[in-house]
Amino acid sequence: MADDPTLAIPFPSGHLLRSSDHGAVTLRPATWAAYKAIAATVDAPESITRAALADAARETLAAPSPDALRRLFALTMMWGSGTSNGRGPRNTNTALRSLGLDSALAQSLDRLQDGDVGGAFLLHRKVPGVGPAFFTKWLWVVGTASGASPRPLILDSLVWTALGELGWDSRLAAGTRSWGARYVAYLTACERWAEAAGDRWTPEDIEYSLFVWGRGD
């Protein structure tokens, strides 16, 4: 990894937002309930927030059974899909029906707790229907309660868009083409940007700021 994972690029103060200001994501429960594997796993709420997911993660990690991890995973995919749903329900149903999901969820938790955040990121390859963007949502959720360092954050297409506008290059920051290392470089850069911002800004605030920036709001 580069000595300075931010690549000496300052984070613009005009784009800083608090992740705590992220409002509730509304859902269409009936859409999710129409998929058998989802309906057998969890009842979709009408809305869900970052804070509610973090609370669910703490409860789940206190007794991380396969069923509990699956419920948390499904809720995370619902939150990540949002009101529009899109392909979220279908892809989540595919993941829940896959033979490798339980192993991938358990392994991701183990790797985070062992400090192998890059290795946890690469486990998205074992979950059909869920690419790295949505799998990092899962890593963020379990990371809120696992004590992983660096703290996992979401890295989706909107965040990538903002990073591109910022001029940040994951390969240069990581010093390698390895996607696990590039994810860790992103996390470390967010930590540095939060530290430089002061005033109790957190890496999660940086990630949310990038998300909103990439959305064009």
In 3D space, the residue among 125, 127, 150, 152 whose CA is nearest the CA of residue 57 turns out to be: 152
The amino acid at 208:
Y
Q: Which residues contact 210 (CB under 8 A, 6 or more apart)?
A: 15, 158, 159, 162, 163, 166
* The pLDDT of residue 146: 84
pLDDT of residue 85: 57
pLDDT along the chain (217 residues), means of 10: 94 96 92 96 94 94 95 96 79 95 96 95 94 96 90 97 98 97 98 96 97 91
198 secondary structure, DSSP code: -
pLDDT for res 2: 82
- Looking at residue 84, its pLDDT comes to 63
Please answer whether residues 204 and 38 qualify as being in contact, where contact means their C-beta atoms are separated by less than 8 angstroms.
Answer: no
